[in-house]
């Protein structure tokens, strides 16, 4: 059950965006293998799914910490909530499931499943409220304009005059982006289908900017003269 939920958490974003993401397919593959193995070799399948659940959860932890802090991005947040809860349940449940293959699910197992489902429902409510509360910021005269579309910055190179620089970012995607310049300490979060603005001080030079969730593919340069 937990493995199926994890697989769904990888497939749902692709269905929503009508796209194929090789990385997500690669993440789902070990869980599909585990479900196939468990049909013939139950103990091996249980151990496999438990180990894979724990390994994938630990591998994803740095990304999860940031992404789960932004419930306003529904396409990112909800699948990751399902993934996190299902992976955790899968890793924890592997040991007792291995020991009692032929027993009916225990009261503890049922309780864990109910708590997990309740947590997902609560997270869904939080995400909907956060998404509804997103407010866009209009561009002002003199702003450097940037658009995030199809997981790319348009244009990839922007210019500004040295001193106080203001960049206005329009996110046309249904996933969260950031406008991040590490050298200058700039890190603007741009929720899905919103417009945001950031002002900072920059000396003459060329600065690389990225979207943290989608780097290195989503990047560009700011030239300050």
Same-domain check for residues 126 and 153: no
The pLDDT assigned to 1 comes to 66
Q: Is 138 a domain residue?
A: no
State the pLDDT at residue 102.
52
Final residue before a domain boundary, out of 85, 106, 132: 132
Q: Describe the strand order of the beta sheet including 195-202 as a list of residue ranges.
A: 152-154, 144-149, 163-171, 195-202
Q: What is the pLDDT of residues 180-202, one digit of tens each?
A: 999 999 999 999 999 999 999 99
* Residue 51 and residue 92 share a domain: yes
Would residue 186 count as lying in a domain?
yes
Residue 179, helix vs strand vs coil: strand
Q: Produce one character per residue of 135-158: b if its CB has 16 or more CB atoms within 10 Å, e if not.
A: eeeebeeebbebbbeeebbeeeeb
Q: What global pTM score does this model have?
A: 0.78
pLDDT digits (tens, 9 = 90+) for 16-44: 767 788 888 898 999 999 899 988 888 88
Tens-binned pLDDT, residue by residue, of the chain (225 aa): 678 888 888 888 778 767 788 888 898 999 999 899 988 888 888 888 888 999 999 998 888 888 899 999 988 898 899 999 988 888 877 766 656 655 555 566 677 778 888 988 999 999 999 989 999 999 999 999 999 999 999 999 999 999 999 999 999 998 999 999 999 999 999 999 999 999 999 999 999 999 999 988 999 999 999
Question: Any idea how long the chain is?
Answer: 225
Residue 184: predicted pLDDT: 96
Instruction: Identify whether 137 is part of a domain.
Output: no
d(CA 97, CA 99): 5
Domain final residue pick, 107, 132, 157: 132
The domain tally of the chain equals 2
pLDDT score, position 97: 61
Q: Would you call 185 exposed, middle or buried from its count of C-beta atoms within 10 A (0-12, 13-18, 19+)?
A: exposed
- Same domain as 124, residue 151: no
Residue 194: give its domain's CATH number. Answer: 2.60.40.420
Closest Cα to residue 181, out of 138, 220, 142, 144?
Answer: 220
Pair 14, 125 in one domain: yes
- What pLDDT shows up at residue 92? 79
Tell me whether residue 212 is in a domain.
Answer: yes
Look at residue 119 and tell me if it is in a domain.
Answer: yes
Q: Are residues 79 and 149 in the same domain?
A: no
User: Which pLDDT score, from 0 to 100, does residue 76 have?
Assistant: 87
CA distance 128 to 122: 10
pLDDT of residue 41: 87
Q: Tell me, what's the pLDDT at 210?
A: 97
Report pLDDT for 96: 63
Instruction: Find the domain containing 110 and state its range.
Output: 2-132
Question: Are 114 and 79 contained in the same domain?
Answer: yes
What is the reported pLDDT for 100? Answer: 60
């Amino acid at each position: 059950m937990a493995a199926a939920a994890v697989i769904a958490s990888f497939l749902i974003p692709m269905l929503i965006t009508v796209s194929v993401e090789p990385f997500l397919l690669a993440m789902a593959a070990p869980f599909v293998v585990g479900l196939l193995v468990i049909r013939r070799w139950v103990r091996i399948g249980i151990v496999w799914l438990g180990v894979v659940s724990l390994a994938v959860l630990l591998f994803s932890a740095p990304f999860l910490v940031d992404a789960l802090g932004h419930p306003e991005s529904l396409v990112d947040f909800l699948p990751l909530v399902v993934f996190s809860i299902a992976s955790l349940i899968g890793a924890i449940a592997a040991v007792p499931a291995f020991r009692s293959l032929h027993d009916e699910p225990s009261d503890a197992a049922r309780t864990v499943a109910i708590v997990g489902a309740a947590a997902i429902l609560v997270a869904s409510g939080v995400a909907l409220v956060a998404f509804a509360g997103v407010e866009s910021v209009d561009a002002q005269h003199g702003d450097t304009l940037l658009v995030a579309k199809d997981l790319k910055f348009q244009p990839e190179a922007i210019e500004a005059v040295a001193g106080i620089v203001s960049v206005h970012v329009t996110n046309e995607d249904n996933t969260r982006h950031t406008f991040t310049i590490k050298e200058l300490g700039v890190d603007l979060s741009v929720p899905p289908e919103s417009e945001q603005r950031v002002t900072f001080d920059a000396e003459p030079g060329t600065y690389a900017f990225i979207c943290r969730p989608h780097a290195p593919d989503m990047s560009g340069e700011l030239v300050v003269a």
